[in-house]
Amino acid sequence: MKNKCVFLDRDGVLNVERGEYTYKTDDFIIPEGVKEALENLKKAGYLLIVITNQAGIAKGIYTKNDVLACHSKLQNETSELIDDIFYCPHHPIKTESLARKPESLMFERAIAKYDIDASQSWMVGDSERDLVPCKKLGIKTIRVYREEGTETIGDHLVPSLFEASKIILK
């Protein structure tokens, strides 16, 4: 039997969007409700996989180790609930990549690695580029917004991951 999955963007969904690169663990703040949402999704049998662009690596703003330290903090503060984290270190100013959202390669790799049924899966992201590849792959989408009135191509629009989890579990 294939697995169902909730794909998660990182910045703006799992940690507070600061409006600039988040690569220091002191700046990596996990909002209230994130851990509870992940626990509820995990109890319902979903794989939890993060799909995130980390272009600051290609731009020389931060290192792979900075990213891994933030991911370690995320796992520690959420009781290791996340099954895997895929990140793309590329940016078009330095290197092109089909992995970088809005392309779909990171999703395709996760689907193959974990035998995921896209039709039973969801993506929770905070930008259009998070959702575009999911439309192509048949994954349902939820957009977390930062301000009211945000337009979206997503199937749903919510203020937080916790609210997104309620829709997924409905």
pLDDT of residue 149: 62
Contact 6, 107 (CB under 8 A): no
What backbone phi and psi angles, to 5 degrees, belong to 97? -160, 135
pLDDT of residue 1: 86
Q: What is the pTM of this model?
A: 0.95
Output the known binding site. Answer: 9, 11, 88, 90, 126
Residue in 117, 55, 116, 59 with CA at minimum distance from that of residue 89 = 55
Cis peptide before 102 (omega within 30 of 0): yes
CATH number, domain containing residue 150:
3.40.50.1000
pLDDT of residue 95: 79
DSSP 65: H
Active site residue 9: yes
In the chain, the amino acid numbered 151 is E
pLDDT of residue 94: 78
Output the known binding site for Zn(2+). Answer: 88, 90
pLDDT of residue 52: 97
Total number of domains constituting the chain:
1
Which residues of the chain are under the pLDDT cut of 70? 147-150
Contact 159, 34 (CB under 8 A): no
pLDDT of residue 148: 63
The parent domain of residue 20 ranges over 5-169
What backbone phi and psi angles, to 5 degrees, belong to 152? -155, 150
- Summarised one tens digit per residue, pLDDT across range 86-115 is 999 998 777 778 889 999 999 999 999 999
Q: Name the catalytic one among 9, 66, 83, 130.
A: 9
Q: Name the catalytic one among 11, 115, 117, 155.
A: 11
Active site residue 11: yes
Output the known binding site for Mg(2+). Answer: 9, 11, 126
Which string of DSSP letters, residue by residue, matches 9-32?
A: -SBTTTB---SS---SGGG--PPT
Contact 5, 49 (CB under 8 A): yes
